[in-house]
Structure 1
Amino acid sequence: MGLRISKSQHSQRVTIFSVIFILMTLLILLGSNNINDTIYAPFHMAANHAIKATDLKKWSTKDGYVPVYGNKTMNLRCHDCALVTSSSHVLGSRAGEEIDHTECVIRMNDAPTLGFESDVGNRTTLRVVAHSSVFRVLRKPNDLLHRTDANAAFIFWGPPNKIGKEAKGTLFRIIERVSMTYSNLSCFGITANKMRRFDSLFHRETGRDRQQSHSWLSTGWFTMVIAIEICDNIKVYGMVPPNHCIKPRTKKIPYHYYKPRGPDECVTYIQNESSRRGNHHRFITEKQVFARWAKLYNISFTHPEW
């Protein structure tokens, strides 16, 4: 009798273990799927968010940019613009000549042209610079001022307490000194009011409050909005579509074309998109918005095309 009870108990234990094993396997599989969804699902769209269209052509304000030195005004206007990203996808494009023949050429942060002319050209009409990139940009000013147009401008963006004219902080004084040295270059800062409007625009387009969602706007976000303000037609070089990093890839693509040993592009995008702690750029989110804007503001994408 005792033997029969022992066998029965053993049988029950095997059955219970089997059920638990199956349940754990299912949970692991479901967990894996949820992780993938978290990584690749667009961050940008809050639940039941109705997009509130903003006419960016009317959105701009004349007092949104203030000169760092002197009394210059930000009055740049172009029919055709080439917006050259810092992505490694521009390498091998041989698009340099085409870019240089565009009426206005827009670049970002410290992306150089020297040594990369065949792919990215060497003219610069406008360069949009983040406060975190100021030291890198101005470390070698002669490189970045190479072949600037006669009416070339730099627009610096960042927290008003760091880069604002009223703050008179270290960053502002450095930019002011460069602006005084290179009198042919127009340097502007973005006003505190317009910085708040950039945040508000992100909220309207995504349903997410930038600060509450721990999001940092990228230089790409500022540059695209500014390009829409000043350009009738925009051709973007090197920017990948929002779903690019879902596709399996066999080789590493450096985040910046001028930093071959830098971080991988998709790893950078996915980590920033999926992170909920700390402040992160929402690159994929922003590209989702850019895809919508492309239909409204004559924006095309090349290398790759999408």
Structure 2
Amino acid sequence: MACPRPFSHPRTSCFSLLMSLSFLICTAGTGPWCDLTSLPPGPPAGRWPLPLSRRRKEMSSNKEQRSAVFVTLFALITILILYSSNSANEVFHYGSLRGRLRRPVNLKKWSITDGYTPILGNKTLPSRCHQCVIVTSSSHLLGTKLGPEIERAECTIRMNDAPTTGYSADVGNKTTFRVVAHSSVFRVLQRPQEFVNRTPETVFIFWGPPSKMQKPQGSLVRIIQRAGLAFPNMEAYAVSLGRMRQFDDLFRSETGKDREKSHSWLSTGWFTMVIAVGLCDHVHVYGMVPPDYCSQRPRLQHMPYHYYEPKGPDECVTYIQNEHSRKGNHHRFITEKRVFSSWAQLYGITFSHPSWT
């Protein structure tokens, strides 16, 4: 019997599994029918053969027992296949599921008003830019001299605490939107001269789970509001609870994996890309590597994960560890990049430095 192709287990082969199941069933006291090639035993020496009707009855009984064995084995194997394919601890292979998934709701139709709640004042998030650029925090931007090109963009989007001071020749200064994770709030607010005063036109979009953003004591929203009192021109919004659920649902529909059950956090890059698609007619992303980059990069080449942390962790080490870790909470960076690649033509997204689609 051929091993069913969907079944896969890191430690047990299909053959040994079948043998183990057969042994367990046969040793459960079911008798000689476990030998599927055996016939009913002949009569002892010196005795008349059993009547034909009785022999037929015994053979019929053996056939029924054999059928029961096959049905039991089939049921057990089916259960194991289903268990293996749904295991929350397996490493998720994105490519094996992508083709079977339905296209999600058009991101261009997501409401801007309902998705972002003002933290300071009663303003509404600016709803449209024709041409946007996303400046990633990648060290691939170092030495590119892209600053003047980025400055000319209609809207410029940056992430977390990526600075421009000292790096403007490569990454520019202009910052229309800055998307900030709950884990980076303090790093941003502790440097107001860099992130608030340097580019006073910046609109901040903060995201985080309700347990972090709205907890009764030490609420990050309250901290941001206090910062707004010190800097009256600061404009800030929080991703609404309903929109946070939409981000999770989008990840599940695109990848087939539930974020929480797969022990992962959506990255700020994921939030930034979806926000940009909703706000902008066209998006140009600088510095993001393609999903297969780390499998092709020379092993001895070291590239810092962030352009502003030259002695920080290597980018590919960070990507691979996060992608394949099954304990704790990690970002599925490579999986997210595969999704972005599928969106490129659909939503008018261009990638450069390096260039890919």
Q: Shorter chain as normaliser: what TM range? A: 0.7 to 0.9
- Aligned position for 2:255: 206
What is the TM-score of this pair, normalised by structure 1?
A: 0.82
**Aligned partner of 1:70: which letter?**
G
Question: Which one scores higher on RCO, CA 8 angstroms, separation ≥ 6?
Answer: 1
Equivalences for residues 188-227 of structure 1 within 5 A: 188-227=237-276
- Aligned position for 2:134: 83
- The change in CA–CA distance for 1:244 and 1:168 in structure 2 (over 3 A counts) is same
- Aligned position for 2:169: 118
Per the alignment, in what secondary structure is the counterpart of residue 226 of structure 1? helix
Once the 2 structures are TM-superposed, how far is the Cα of residue 77 of structure 1 from its aligned partner?
1.6
Mind listing any 5+ residue stretches in structure 1 that lack a counterpart? 1-26, 28-37
**Partner of residue 236 from structure 2, selected from 187, 195, 198:** 187
Deviations 1:21-67 (A, max 9, x none): xxxxxx9xxxxxxxxxx98x854754874233320001234221111
Mind listing any 5+ residue stretches in structure 2 that lack a counterpart? 1-12, 14-89
Q: In 1, Cα distance between the equivalents of 2:163 and 2:176?
A: 14
For the 8 Å contact 1:44–1:207, the answer to whether it is kept is no
Deviations 1:153-207 (A, max 9, x none): 100000112213x856332221111222222221001111111110000001111
Q: In 2, Cα distance between the equivalents of 1:86 and 1:47?
A: 28
Q: In 2, Cα distance between the equivalents of 1:248 and 1:304?
A: 12
- Aligned position for 2:295: 246
For the 8 Å contact 2:98–2:254, the answer to whether it is kept is no
- Aligned position for 1:50: 101
**Partner of residue 127 from structure 1, selected from 172, 175, 178:** 178
Q: In 2, Cα distance between the equivalents of 1:160 and 1:282?
A: 21
Rg (Cα) greater in structure: 2
Q: In 1, Cα distance between the equivalents of 2:104 and 2:222?
A: 38
- Aligned position for 1:260: 310
- Aligned position for 1:62: 113
**Aligned partner of 1:246: which letter?**
S
Q: In 2, Cα distance between the equivalents of 1:113 and 1:146?
A: 12
Report sequence identity in percent.
Answer: 57
**Aligned partner of 1:85: which letter?**
T
| Runs of 4+ off more than 3 Å | 41-49, 166-170
Equivalences for residues 15-30 of structure 1 within 5 A: none
Q: In 1, Cα distance between the equivalents of 2:311 and 2:174?
A: 26
- RMSD, aligned α-carbons: 2.0
Deviations 1:233-254 (A, max 9, x none): 1110000001000014232100
